[in-house]
Amino acid sequence: MLSIDDIKKKAQSWLGNEFNEETRKEVREMLEKDEKKLIDAFYQDLEFGTGGLRGIMGAGTNRMNIYTLGMATQGLSNYIIKQCGNKGIRVAIAYDCRHNSRLFAECTADIFSANGFEVYLFESLRPTPELSFAIRHYKCHSGVVITASHNPPEYNGYKAYWNDGGQVVAPHDEGIIDEVRNIKSVSEIKFNGNKNKIKIIGKETDDAFLKEVLKMSINPEIIRKYSDMGIIYTPIHGSGVMLIPPALKLFGFRNIISVPEQEKPDGNFPTVKSPNPEEPGALKLAILKAAETGADLVMASDPDADRLGIACKNKKGEFILLNGNQTGVILTYYILSQFKEKKKYKGNEYIIKTIVSTDLMDMIAEKHRVKCYNVLTGFKFFAELIRNLEGKEKYIGGGEESYGFLPGDYVRDKDAVASCALVAEAGAWAKSKGKSLYEMLIDIYLEYGLYKEKLINIVRKGAEGANEIKAMMMAYRKNPPEIINNSRVVKINDYETLVSTDCASGKNTKIDLLKSDVLQFFLEDGSKISVRPSGTEPKIKFYFSVNTKLESTGKFEETEKLLDLRIQGIITDMKLS
């Protein structure tokens, strides 16, 4: 870590005329009054990683501001020119509801246009999946969305995309990172934009996007019958408000009820602790509104509307929150079963899931004779696989446990817009059979087995924490457990060495994926434990998946409790509680 003298010297370099007065004033105040804040703002450079930038907003090299964002955009511009030349380059830019998002989007547009690019900039906030669509629709070479997803209000971020509409992957990710690192001074950033190169886009792009969303509908006749089904939707103050209600109406739903307190875009997210649909508190107001109105279904999207949270009624009429695995299972089952019923299969269809997501999706695909590809965590790997299989096989859906799903391939990132519309359609389909969406989920468990998943995050902050996480992974590799919760470990997948080991025979087979710091232990009783350090936060993640046969719907709660006990037994045995 830099000494305080080095940090002060670094901060003083931000007092030059190349920085605006607002920035210079903030830096002066830190130098004079707040050493702790100064250290945090300048002790390191905000790293441009494989997904882009994400950080707290403010002045400093370790903060999100027009200068750190500018260096990222200039580095990305330099890479695009090296790869594609400097003529006829097109890029698209979207942004969400966060503080400074419009400022950052306009700054990005200026830099791209100053580099000679034609820029498609959305007129106001839009969901991330529409940015992915716009890149493909306008035949862009690249694109950027300004968002920090579900981070706290003080954060913002910057995600870079390539010409297929997917987030950048190898070799482009490392190439862009190198170009960003090569920017040594803000004087290298071309801030003076060419307004003639910037085209503002809006309704015409929305209409083209929604036209593709509508193609995802499988049972429009059922929606016509149940068009008055009560649906509560909340954008949690985010960009989903722009397109999710219109998508639901386009599908044919007429009884869409908003949550007034959360409908207006607001970067402070005043009604929630976290604007994250994974958090039960984020859906609290929506569930109260559902109880008040007698609605059938509750849906929420995160600030950039790429992830969705769902709540639906059980037999007692109580709203149950679904996790990301359960939503993925419902959508997978609905798509595959209805493709079969409608005779839509051509024989080359496939779905995608991540290696840490529920294996129930694999089971459903297998029964419907559809391929299920497993990829590393992150939707950029979905996009990469879809691109590689284009023209050979047909992607029809897929998702990950962290509340992301993508139906159809016109977008190359997770998409809460189409997913919300399709969940609502699945709800209408379940209603046509006299069931709720939750009862439909239990029917799936009855057919395939009851699968239960749980995620534990162990936070270890700072350099000491990072070393502790490394030591944990090393210990699991050097001395892997032989028995966990009285069940023998039968297989170990190590994605760092790309070796799968059969523990009984000692036979090794190659894993055909990119290297990643992930370990998986498969137990004799069908349980699966996945361990991976987070790529964006100071934590190590443990994913637990257990399953057993469900004898009857009447035994659901009893069987679920037994699986909860099994998960707790694994956690206790691994000394994680």
By annotation, the residues acting in catalysis are 149
Contact 257, 295 (CB under 8 A): yes
Amino acid at 3: S
Token pair 């025979």 in the structure block, residue = 505
Q: What is the DSSP string of 312-342?
A: EE-TTS-EEEE-HHHHHHHHHHHHHHHHHHT
Contacts with 233 (C-beta within 8 Å, 6 or more apart), sequence order: 240, 244, 245, 248, 256, 257, 258, 259, 286, 298, 299, 300, 420
Task: Please tell me the distance from the alpha carbon of residue 517 to that of residue 532, in angstroms, as a whole number.
Answer: 6
How do beta strands 450-459 and 118-122 pair?
unpaired
Give which of 109, 117, 71, 110 is closest to 93, Cα–Cα: 109
Contacts with 308 (C-beta within 8 Å, 6 or more apart), sequence order: 277, 299, 300, 301, 302, 327, 403, 405, 416, 419, 420, 423
**CA gyration radius for the chain?**
24
Residue 152, preceding peptide bond in cis (omega within 30° of 0): no
Give which of 253, 213, 209, 218 is closest to 233, Cα–Cα: 253
Find the angle CA(294)-CA(296)-CA(298) to the nearest 5 degrees: 105
State the alpha helices, DSSP H only, in 232-350.
Answer: 244-251, 260-263, 284-293, 324-341
How do beta strands 297-301 and 308-313 pair?
antiparallel
Calculate the CA dihedral of residues 245, 249, 253, 255 and round it to 10 degrees.
Answer: 60
How do beta strands 483-484 and 450-459 pair?
unpaired
How do beta strands 118-122 and 90-95 pair?
parallel
